[in-house]
Amino acid sequence: GKEQFETEIELKYTPNTVFTLAERDEQFKTTIELYKMTEDLAYLVYELDEMLKYIENNKEQKSLSKQGAVLNSKLNDLKKTLVITTGDNYVGAAEPQLREKLGDIYSKVAGYYGKPSNSEYQNIKLITNRFNKAKTDFETIKKGLFAKYLSSAEKIEIKAMEIKSYEEFVKK
């Protein structure tokens, strides 16, 4: 039990496999991109939920109520395109949203050892475009209406909103 043995081994890709190394590399690269997009989407939804909570916690403030109602509506409309917000998620009654579609394509790509098919690439492109639009819409709300809301809240000395950084969020 106290003796130590060392040897070098060389790992090689099996030459008689169905998939080439380039195909496996493409599958890995695509899987990582989809994983990162999933994390980014989760953080966006977290930020959105924190904004909604902040608005809810301050709805009794008369000077914020109008702005809060408009913001609440816009944020909830955006959220409905990102994640399922209705039904019980068990019977599949609700229409799949971005998170569900992203999760579906991620599991297909990650579960197959070859590179994604052309239809999967097309699906990924559609999902990526939809996500990029959602990020743009969110940033527009955040830098526009929500920034004005925060400014109004600050004027009446409402405690600032606290939110985790992206790095803190993904550390979980």
Per-residue pLDDT tens digits for 5-37: 899 999 887 878 899 889 999 999 999 999 999
Q: Any idea where the domains of the chain sit in the sequence? A: 21-171
Residue by residue, DSSP assigns 72-84 as: HHHHHHHHHHHS-
Per-residue pLDDT tens digits for 100-142: 999 999 999 999 989 999 999 999 999 999 999 999 999 999 9
**pLDDT category of residue 166 using cuts at 50, 70 and 90:** very high
Q: Sign of the CA dihedral 17, 19, 22, 26?
A: negative
Q: Which of 81, 75, 85 is nearest to 55 (CA)?
A: 75
What's the confidence (pLDDT) of residue 93? Answer: 58
How far is it, in rounded angstroms, from Cα 53 to Cα 42? 16
Q: Read off φ and ψ for residue 49, nearest 5 degrees.
A: -65, -40
Can you give the pTM of this predicted structure? 0.85
